[in-house]
Structure formats: C-alpha cells, structure tokens
Structure 1
Amino acid sequence: MPAEIAVLVNPAARGGRSRGLLSPVLDRLRQGGREVSVILGDSASDALERACTAVAEQPEALVAFGGDGLVHLAVQAVAGSGVPLGVIPVGTGNDIAAALGIPLKAPLAAADTVLRGRVRTVDAAKAGEDEWFAGVLACGFDSRVNERANTMTWPPGMARYLVALAEELRSFRPIPFRIDLDGEIVEREAMLVAVGNTSSYGAGMRVCPGAVPDDGLLDVTILGAIPKGEFLRTFPRVYRGSHGAHPAVTMLRARRVSLEAPGVIAYADGERVGPTPLTCEIVPGALTVLV
C-alpha cells in the first residue's frame, strides 16, 4: 500500500483566508501515488484526539496546515512518536516554520518539502506535566497581551493584538519573578520572561535570538523592570534581535527552567498553557520534522 500522509487542517487560519489554498496543496501531496487523509476536528480537543489516532497508525507524516497554533497542537500528537511532522505555514505568524527553514508564503513549495521527505531531528520542550511546545513560551507582559486579546472579538487578525498591547500597557506593572535555571535562582522584577526552543514569536519578534532547536538547551530572555517609555523604545528592537544590548535584558541558557510569578498565565507557541508556577524542560530529539 502507498504510504499515507495525514493532513491536520485549521480552516480558520488567517481568518479563513487559507481555505482556498487547501485543495491545491492536497493535490500536490497526492502526487507520486501518496494516500492523503484530512483531519478536521469539531474543536481543538477533538482535532488533537483525531491527530493522536492517526499518529498511532504510523503514517508517513502528520502535516499541519495552519499557523503556529496548529503546529503546537500537532506537536502534542507527534512528540516522541517518531512520526515526522510536516508544516504548510498558512497562519498569521508561522514562526516555527521559519525557524525550521520551511518556505513561507508558498504553500505548494512547503508541500514539496513534505514530499521530498528530508528529515531533521530537533528538540521540543515540556511545560508542566504533559504540554509540549516547539517554539517560545511567553510569561509576563506578552502573555498578558495574549490573554487580553483572546477576550476580544474585534478587530480581526494582528490588529487585535496591537489594540490589546496598547490597553495592557496602560495598567501594566513590573512582575516579581522567581526563576530557577538548572538550580541557579534568579529573583527579579521583570516586564517579561521568554523561554525559547526557537528564536521568535508573534510573527517575527526574535525574543530569544540565539536559540536553535537542536542544541539541547532552552534560551531564556529576561527583560527587567523599566519605565513604560523606555519599554516602548526598547521593545521594537526585538524584531531585529538586538534588544540583548539593553542593560535591562539578560539572556541565559538552561535545560530546566521553573517560573514563579503571581497572577501570570503562560502562553507557548501562542497557545494558553496555564498559570505559574510552571516548569519547562527540554527534551532533546523529541521531534522529527520535514525540512
């Protein structure tokens, strides 16, 4: 029998604008005699259950057709399974795909990447008992912006996050963090702490610019307490990855990172993980990806 490629689909990616791209991608994947099945759940939990069932049958690959949120869901299914993960990046951010060198804004080229079958073994991280993440875990100002944006119904897309950012900034105060990095304790008031397996989040913000996904380490960026005006001047540097030169920024590496911060909800790969305290631990070689 021909090998099967299971395609996990998020029809709401980019506000539904990705739907017209799906049929050409499926046609391309069927080239060469591949069998292609489509996984479309009624909810995130249903989609995950269906993806886990597909992975248990050892397909040639599980392919995430969507953005970082769908990749995050797919990682829950494939981590540690040996089933390769493919990505067709049609979401808003696509930071994980960018970190893996998968073609962006070119779904058919990404489909060709899946068909070529070149594999790379990379790390993934666990947050808490059983939540995997492949990209960046955010904790602090950035995660509070996410939390606020998720309660809003307007405006759509990235504009919602810009509005949430402006609203959060009005009331935000630095947060007292306690961070355990492989037993070394850091206690500091901070604007945010980011824990990265890869370098960027939020559609290109290189918050952990030195992070690479196969070094067996997590990169930790701490932006200490600074006045709001200074924060507004400093934060845009994250798009160039040059914020590390600021005296309030500390960048560290560890295999295991525990975070404590009152009233803070952590987000990983843009998805809600839950409140601190929370421990993140790298698992070397947990993912096989098609690149």
Structure 2
Amino acid sequence: MADRVLIIANPAAGGVSAALVWQVARRCRRPVSVRWTSTPGDAVDIARAATASADLVLAVGGDGTAREVAAGLATAWHHTVPMLVVPAGTANSLYRTLWGETPWLDAVEAALSGAAPIRADLARVLELDRLVLAGACAGFPPQAIHEAKTREVSYAAALASLADRYEPYPGRVLVDGLIVHSGPTMLANVGGSRFRGGAYELLPHSRMDDGLLDVCVIGAEHSTLEMLRLTQTGAHVDVPGVVYARGHRIRVERLDGHPLWFEHDGEVLASPRGSYTLTAVPSAVSMIAAPSAAVAAA
C-alpha cells in the first residue's frame, strides 16, 4: 500500500484543472505532494527526484505527461517506484490501453490499495536518444496532429479534413533488419500501447510487458477514410496492404529524400530526418494497470 504519493500535474494538458488535481489529492487519503510542471521536460526531472521520497507517482495529464514521468522513473537510481496514469489529456490512449473503460477513480483506488504493478516496456528513438511510452507513428497521424494544433481544431476534425487530400509517402519499414514493407505508405505505427489517438486500436495484439515492439504498417491499397473506420476496432489487421509484426528494433524510412512526418506520445517532431529507429527497452518502468483479462476485454 502506498504511504507517500506524489502527483505530477501538467497544466497545459487539455483536461487538467486545479479542481481535478484537488479531487485526486483528496482521493489519496494519505500524505500527498503536488508538483505542477511549467516547461517541457519538467516532469522527467520531478519524477526522477521523486524516487527518494515517494512510494507512488500519479501522472495527471495526457500521453505526453505520462511519457515524461515514465522517462524520469526509468532513469532514476532506484527505478522501482510505480506510476499510475490519471487521464486528463486530449486523447488518453495510454490510459485506455492500461485500464479499458475503468473510471480513473477506481484506478486510483486500486493503486492506493496495493495493486501489483506490471513492468512496462518503453522504446527508445536512437537518433534522438529519447524514450517513448505510448508509441510512435509516421505518416498520416502526425500530419493530422500538426494540423489540429496549427488550425486549432480537434484531432478528429483534423483527421477528417486531411483524409481526402492525404498523399501516401514512399516508405520502407524494417523489423530486426528484415524489410516487412516497401512502397506507398499511409502510416507506420510502432510501440506498446494498443490505442493511439484515443479511439484507434492500431496495435490490437500489443502487450506493454512482453519485451517487444509491435509495428503496424498500412499501405495505400485502401482509402484513408476506410482505414480510419477499420482501425477503431482493430479490423484493419486482416485486410490486404496491412503488415503487422513484432521485433526488438524497428526502422521507419521515407525514401524520396523529404522529411518524414513523425510523432511519439502525441508530440510531432520538427526534424528534417527521413528515418527513425526505435529499439525496445524491456521492463523499464513499474506501472499500475488493470488485470490483463480486464484490459483485453475492454
């Protein structure tokens, strides 16, 4: 049972408010500290330092906040302090993967009651030496995230707007050195979280504690709108033009010399790079999650 709780809250996340953080703190019913982030990267440093004094860390924010907290805990000297994601972002894909439709109040209660954590895997983007939690994606989704932010519209609206004019890029994906896809590419999603963008089950067979990275590559055989529909239920993995694989090292490339649209944990990278390599970091962080059967049934 957790005796000392640290809440790390990101005020820039879509659903975070002082009232919500106060509600989380009251739910803890034990000594609790609250730290608010002020700049990108703050949560990494706060979480890393927390391992000396906290028994449980609650990440209140979206997938980006959770990634920073996980990165801090994974790189701390004592990296056994568990974390729990309290969903307060725009998409909350990671929370849905870990808890299904369980209300966050019940998840907090389970964490405070001593629920056994899993040892969750992370990924590392080698070119950036950056840890990834929920996953990374190239192609259509990061371009939609960029448009949602620049046009100040919802992610769903940006997806719908971009779908009719999106042009697949010439791409290649390698898994542990073997080419699994080469040709026109709609997207390539890599990671551990089953869900991305909140509603899209791009990696329906993924587990966050198996030591492997799942990758799904969708080619250009079907319309973007059709794939948006199919990925909401994971039905896309059975149609032609979709490759699903697992491995320890995934390389995603764009072959025409142009920069590759690429994001991880909801953050679009402003980089001229045409390729990225992700490697699995097994059992990197202790994370409170629902029992596997409950998550799988969600």
Shorter-chain TM band: 0.7 to 0.9
Q: CA RMSD in A?
A: 2.2
Alpha-carbon distance, 1:169 to partner: 3.2
Q: Report the residue type matching 1:289 in the other structure.
A: M
Query: SS at the partner of 1:214?
Result: coil
Of 194, 205, 219, the match for 1:210: 205
**Structure 2 segments unaligned to the other structure (5+ residues):** 290-298
Change (3 A) 1:189 1:268: same
Alpha-carbon distance, 1:183 to partner: 0.9
Matched, 1:234 2:227: yes
Name the residue aligned to 1:115: 112
Cα deviation, 1:239-283, whole Å, max 9, x if unaligned, reads: 111011211111111110011123223211212345442111111
Alpha-carbon distance, 1:135 to partner: 1.7
Whether contact under 8 Å (1:136, 1:200) holds in the other structure is: no
Q: Report the residue type matching 1:137 in the other structure.
A: A
Q: Report the residue type matching 1:139 in the other structure.
A: A
Name the residue aligned to 1:77: 72
Of 214, 228, 235, the match for 1:219: 214
Name the residue aligned to 1:248: 241
Matched, 1:45 2:45: no
Distance 1:166 1:240 in 2: 18
Q: Report the residue type matching 1:50 in the other structure.
A: I
Distance 1:148 1:236 in 2: 20
Cα deviation, 1:111-150, whole Å, max 9, x if unaligned, reads: 2122123221121111224322222211101111112222
Cα deviation, 1:64-109, whole Å, max 9, x if unaligned, reads: 01222211221121125222111222333222122222764x3332
Whether contact under 8 Å (1:87, 1:102) holds in the other structure is: no
Distance 1:45 1:132 in 2: 12
Alpha-carbon distance, 1:285 to partner: 0.7
Name the residue aligned to 1:13: 13
Name the residue aligned to 1:24: 23
Name the residue aligned to 2:139: 140
Change (3 A) 1:192 1:122: same
Alpha-carbon distance, 1:168 to partner: 2.7
Aligned length: 277
For normalisation by structure 2, the TM-score amounts to 0.85
Matched, 1:193 2:207: no
Alpha-carbon distance, 1:216 to partner: 1.4
Query: SS at the partner of 2:193?
Result: coil
Alpha-carbon distance, 1:290 to partner: 1.9
Distance 1:245 1:220 in 2: 14
Distance 1:84 1:250 in 2: 34
Query: SS at the partner of 2:41?
Result: helix
Cα deviation, 1:45-68, whole Å, max 9, x if unaligned, reads: 33433333334x252122101222
Distance 2:18 2:144 in 1: 28
Whether contact under 8 Å (1:267, 1:274) holds in the other structure is: no
Matched, 1:35 2:31: yes
Q: Report the residue type matching 2:36 in the other structure.
A: L
Query: SS at the partner of 1:150?
Result: helix
Change (3 A) 1:187 1:89: same
Change (3 A) 1:102 1:6: farther
Alpha-carbon distance, 1:4 to partner: 2.5
Whether contact under 8 Å (1:6, 1:39) holds in the other structure is: yes
Matched, 1:162 2:156: yes
Whether contact under 8 Å (1:24, 1:108) holds in the other structure is: no
Distance 1:107 1:219 in 2: 26
Matched, 1:99 2:97: yes
Q: Report the residue type matching 1:239 in the other structure.
A: Q
Distance 2:226 2:261 in 1: 25
Distance 1:290 1:51 in 2: 16
Name the residue aligned to 1:127: 125
Name the residue aligned to 1:287: 285
Distance 1:95 1:165 in 2: 16
Distance 2:109 2:150 in 1: 37
Distance 1:116 1:67 in 2: 24
Whether contact under 8 Å (1:86, 1:114) holds in the other structure is: yes
Distance 2:188 2:122 in 1: 18
**Structure 1 segments unaligned to the other structure (5+ residues):** none
Query: SS at the partner of 2:11?
Result: coil
Query: SS at the partner of 2:6?
Result: strand
